[in-house]
Structure 1
C-alpha cells in the first residue's frame, strides 16, 4: 500500500518540480514547469505563480490540474490534483515564513507583500506510478481523506 511519504520521496528523488497541466477557459490545454514543495503536515503540495499568469487564470476557471514528473526509465509519476489559490494576505505570509517552496521565494517574488504572488495548494486526487514494466498495471495512491 502506497502512503504519502512514499509519494513525496519518489517525486522529490526525481526533481524539485513537475509539469503542471491546466485548462484555459476556451478548453485549450496549458502546461508549465513549476517548483513543487511537499507539505510535511498534510497530504498536499505547494507551488506559487504570478497572479497575472496563464496558469493562475486557468486555475481560477477550473481548479482541476494534472502533474507529470520528468521521465526516468524505471519510473513515471502522474498525478491528478485539485488546486486552491491562496489570496488571503495572512495565509500568504504564513506560507512565505514556512518556506513551502523548494527554491528561493525572494528571488522570484521579492516578498510576501508582492501583490502578484499567488500560492497554490495542490491536493492529490490520485497518483499513478509506472515502474518501468509495461506489462504491469501502475501502482496507485489515493488519499484517504
Structure 2
C-alpha cells in the first residue's frame, strides 16, 4: 500500500490523543463518540476496541461506514472506510496490544471486539497527508 501519511502524520497518529468515531444509527443519523484508536501505516488499517454490546459495534454491524477523526489545534486527520467487527481472539488480542502501546492497557472486558477498517478516504491537514484521497 502506498504511504498515506507524511512523517509528521505518522508522528501525529502515534501521539497520545483521543479521537472521535462516527458510525451511523438505524435512522442514518451520525453517532459520534470519543475513542482511542491505532493506525497501521503498512496496511492503512485503523482499529478501535470496544465492547461487543456498545452502540458503535451495533451500528458498525448494521452499516459498516465509519470515520475516525483526530484533532489537535490546527492539525487533524479523518480516516474513513468500511468497518468489520472482529470477534476472534487473535484479532482482538492484536488490537488490544496495539492500543496498549499507544495509550495504556485497557481494563479487562470479556465482551471486547475490535472494529477494523482499511482507510479508503483520508482527509486532513496538508502537512500530515502524503497523498490526497
Q: Shared fold (TM-score greater than 0.5)? A: yes
Listed as ranges, the matches of 1:1-145 within 5 Å are 3-6=3-6, 7-13=9-15, 15-39=16-40, 41-73=42-74, 75-96=75-96, 99-101=97-99, 102-105=102-105, 107-108=106-107, 110=108, 114=110, 116-131=111-126, 140-142=131-133
- Offset of residue 61 of structure 1: 0.6
Provide structure 2 residue ranges, at least 5 long, that are not aligned to the other structure. Answer: none
- Offset of residue 42 of structure 1: 2.1
TM-score, normalization by structure 2: 0.77
Change over 3 Å in CA distance of 1:72–1:45 after alignment to 2: same
- Offset of residue 12 of structure 1: 3.2
- Offset of residue 131 of structure 1: 4.3
RMSD: 2.7
CA contact (8 A) 2:21 2:69 kept: yes
CA contact (8 A) 1:19 1:33 kept: yes
TM-score, normalization by structure 1: 0.71
- Offset of residue 50 of structure 1: 0.7
Over alpha carbons, which structure has the higher Rg?
A: 1
- Offset of residue 129 of structure 1: 2.1
Higher RCO by CA contacts (8 Å cutoff, separation 6 or greater):
2
